Amino acid sequence: MFAHQVAAAQPLLIGLLLLWSSYGKVVRRDSAEQAKRTALPGLVGEKRAAPVYRFVGGVEAVIALALLAPPVWTVEAIPAVALAVGFTGYLIYAKIVVPEASCGCVGSSAKPVDRRAIGRSLLLLATALAATTASIEWWSAGSGAVVLVLEAAVFVMLSAELDRYWLLPLRRLRLRITHPLSGTATDAVPLAATQRRLLLSPAYRAVNGLLRSDIHDYWDDEDWRFVSYTARYDGRPATAVFAVPHHDSTPESVRVAVVDETSGQTLYRPTVLATAG
């Protein structure tokens, strides 16, 4: 009985996800620009990329509405399975052939296709397959909705487009509590001015080869501004945290530490900079 309830809940989840995905492709004004950043230009040509991108969004919307409305969820789940298979194959292609291309799945994120995007597509495929076994309507799922909440949480964690709503605040909190450059920063200094000082500093030159992004996050704490970049150190995901003092404009006063993305452990801190200032 519980398995039937779980299966019945899947069309609701898939329908909402596909509506979210289709919105970015069909409604957003920058969808044409987003299409150019995907692997579609290499597959269908520059001129056809935007129309194909919007067409896929339209297909997603139609399947989503069919899944959310009665009466035949099993039949309607089959196109969702085909769509998920297509998504997965496309993302694997993009990852291998055009690694710099963005996913183009939802939102306007320009982040390249990664394992999270492929994992999300595989999870969508699994939920679509489960939906083909549904024998009751999704609003009768009952306790199956509990599993739906857990699945939705996993989808959120696999969606880079949503990182700014939950992951970045958690990273900021963790770094404020645990990072090795805790000190003090003001909101009065423009970020551009901080960035110029940072780029001229020995600290930036010491870790420039490890950085994998532009400024990822920043915050002030009394007399210091902290600026973070995503990085990799010995093949491990990491965060480079720069401490830029407001009241000392010398490049040598900037400090840096590279910390492990998961544990917050300090992986690298240039010793010549640790004693600077």
The answer to whether residue 274 scores a pLDDT higher than 50 is no
Q: Do residue 84 and residue 122 come from a single domain?
A: yes
Over residues 73-123, the pLDDT tens digits come to 567 889 999 999 999 999 999 989 888 788 888 766 667 788 889 999 999
Q: Do residue 103 and residue 213 come from a single domain?
A: no
Q: Do residue 45 and residue 116 come from a single domain?
A: yes
The closest alpha carbon to 237, from 215, 219, 217, 259, belongs to 259
From 158, 189, 214, give the residue that closes a domain.
158
Total count of domains within the chain: 2
From 140, 158, 176, give the residue that closes a domain.
158
DSSP single-letter state for residue 275: T
Q: Do residue 138 and residue 98 come from a single domain?
A: yes
> What confidence score (pLDDT) does residue 108 get?
61
> What confidence score (pLDDT) does residue 137 get?
82
In contact, 239 and 261? CB cutoff 8 Å: yes
Measured in degrees and rounded to the nearest 5, phi and psi for residue 226 equal -105, 130
Q: Do residue 125 and residue 183 come from a single domain?
A: no
**Position with higher pLDDT, 62 vs 186:** 62
Q: Using pLDDT thresholds of 50, 70 and 90, give the confidence band for residue 275.
A: very low
Over residues 177-234, the pLDDT tens digits come to 765 555 444 446 788 888 888 999 999 999 998 998 888 888 887 788 899 999 998 8
Q: Do residue 122 and residue 181 come from a single domain?
A: no
> What confidence score (pLDDT) does residue 19 get?
93
Structural domain of 231:
167-274
> What confidence score (pLDDT) does residue 114 get?
85
Q: Do residue 226 and residue 131 come from a single domain?
A: no
What's this model's pTM, rounded to 2 decimal places?
0.64
Share of the chain above pLDDT 70, in %: 90
Cis-peptide, bond into residue 237, ω within 30° of zero: no
The closest alpha carbon to 217, from 167, 273, 268, belongs to 167
Q: Using pLDDT thresholds of 50, 70 and 90, give the confidence band for residue 138.
A: confident
* Strand, helix or coil for residue 206: helix
> What confidence score (pLDDT) does residue 35 get?
87
236-245 vs 224-233, strand pairing mode: antiparallel
Q: Average pLDDT, stretch 145-173?
A: 85
Within 8 A by CB and 6+ apart from 13, the residues are 127, 148, 151, 152, 155
Kind and range of the H or E run holding 224: strand 224-233
Q: Do residue 125 and residue 171 come from a single domain?
A: no
Q: Do residue 250 and residue 232 come from a single domain?
A: yes
Say which range, 85-99, 166-180, 243-257, has the weakest mean pLDDT.
166-180
Which stretch, 34-38, 248-252, 253-257, 262-266, has highest mean pLDDT?
A: 253-257
Q: Do residue 147 and residue 11 come from a single domain?
A: yes
> What confidence score (pLDDT) does residue 185 get?
44
Owner of token pair 């194959």: 89
* Strand, helix or coil for residue 263: coil
* Strand, helix or coil for residue 220: strand
From 134, 158, 182, give the residue that closes a domain.
158
Length of the chain: 277
Q: Average pLDDT, stretch 146-156?
A: 91
Q: Do residue 183 and residue 153 come from a single domain?
A: no
Within 8 A by CB and 6+ apart from 218, the residues are 191, 194, 225, 226, 227, 228
> What confidence score (pLDDT) does residue 70 get?
73
The answer to whether residue 25 scores a pLDDT higher than 50 is yes
Q: Average pLDDT, stretch 132-158?
A: 86
* Strand, helix or coil for residue 254: coil
Q: Do residue 116 and residue 58 come from a single domain?
A: yes
